[in-house]
Each structure stands twice: as structure tokens, then as C-alpha cells.
């Protein structure tokens, strides 16, 4: 059971975060941080269908996480879910077309190993 919940959670997290990044990129850089401008930006962003899709996936991931916390310990859930870092970095390179150079790959790999060790 915990593996099913975990699989649902990691798939939903990866999908959600990539869709969100895609949607925010389409929106463009936020430069005005006054509350009224942020409110207007939010009103635009919530109608972006990538962002809507991203939030839907993250909602699934959030409730799967709540369920997981009742089934298992954080020290199991967190290291295994570090697999989302691998999937998301690969998707960032090939779907979002980011220039993931050697330094960034190396940094991402160090972080993934570190997350597993810290949360074991």
C-alpha cells in the first residue's frame, strides 16, 4: 500500500512541478512586487492552463503525502521521493529546454545523494 501511495505521490509531484514551471515561464518574469501588482499577476496566472494542471497534480501529491505520513515514517518517505529530483532535472533539460550544464548536473546529483543520506 505504501508503495502505491508513494508512486502516486512522486508521479504527481513531478508532473505538477514541471507543468507549473512551464506555465510560469509562459507568463514571464514577475518584476513588480507591490501587493496590487502581485494580485493582478495571480489573477492572470490562475487562468493559465499549465498552472491549473500543475496545481491539480500537486493537490493529488499533497493528499498522497498526508496519507503517506499515516502509513509510514518521514525517514522512509523523503529519501525515496528524492527520485522526483532526477525525473524533474531530466524533464527540465528535455521538455523545458533548459541548459543543464555539467556543473548543474553535478550539483543536482550531489543534492540527490545528500537528500537520501539526510532523511534516511
Partner 1 sequence: MTEESARLRVKTWVCATIVVLTNVFGDYFLKRGMSAARSIAGPLDYIATLFQPWVACGVVLLLAWQLSRMALLSWADLSYVLPVTSIGYVLVALLGRVLLNERITSVRWAGIVLIMAGVALVSGGTPPQTTYREVVAP
Check binding of 43 to partner 1 (CB under 8 A): no
Taking alpha carbons only, the member of 12, 7, 11, 9 closest to residue 56 is 12
- 7 part of the interface to partner 1, by CB under 8 A: no
In the Cβ-directed half-sphere of 12, how many Cα atoms lie within 13 Å?
A: 17
**Identity of the residue, 11 or 112, whose beta carbon is nearer to partner 1 in the bound complex:** 112
Residue 4 found at the interface with partner 1 (CB under 8 A)? no
Dihedrals phi, psi of 38, to nearest 5 degrees? -65, -40
Rank residues 3 and 36 by Cβ distance to partner 1 and give the closer one: 36
Among 8, 11, 41, 52, binds partner 1 (CB under 8 A): 41
Q: Compare residues 3 and 75 and give the one whose CB is closer to partner 1.
A: 75
Residue 64 CA neighbour count, 13 Å, CB half:
22
Amino acid at each position: 500500500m505504501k508503495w502505491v501511495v508513494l508512486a502516486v505521490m512522486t508521479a504527481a509531484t513531478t508532473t505538477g512541478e514541471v507543468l507549473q514551471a512551464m506555465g510560469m515561464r509562459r507568463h514571464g518574469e514577475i518584476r513588480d512586487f507591490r501587493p496590487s501588482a502581485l494580485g493582478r499577476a495571480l489573477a492572470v496566472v490562475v487562468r493559465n492552463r499549465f498552472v491549473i494542471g500543475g496545481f491539480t497534480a500537486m493537490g493529488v501529491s499533497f493528499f498522497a503525502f498526508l496519507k503517506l505520513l499515516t502509513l509510514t515514517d518521514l525517514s522512509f518517505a523523503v529519501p525515496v521521493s528524492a527520485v522526483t529530483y532526477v525525473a524533474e532535472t531530466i524533464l527540465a533539460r528535455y521538455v523545458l529546454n533548459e541548459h543543464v550544464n555539467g556543473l548543474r548536473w553535478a550539483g543536482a546529483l550531489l543534492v540527490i545523494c545528500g537528500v537520501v543520506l539526510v532523511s534516511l
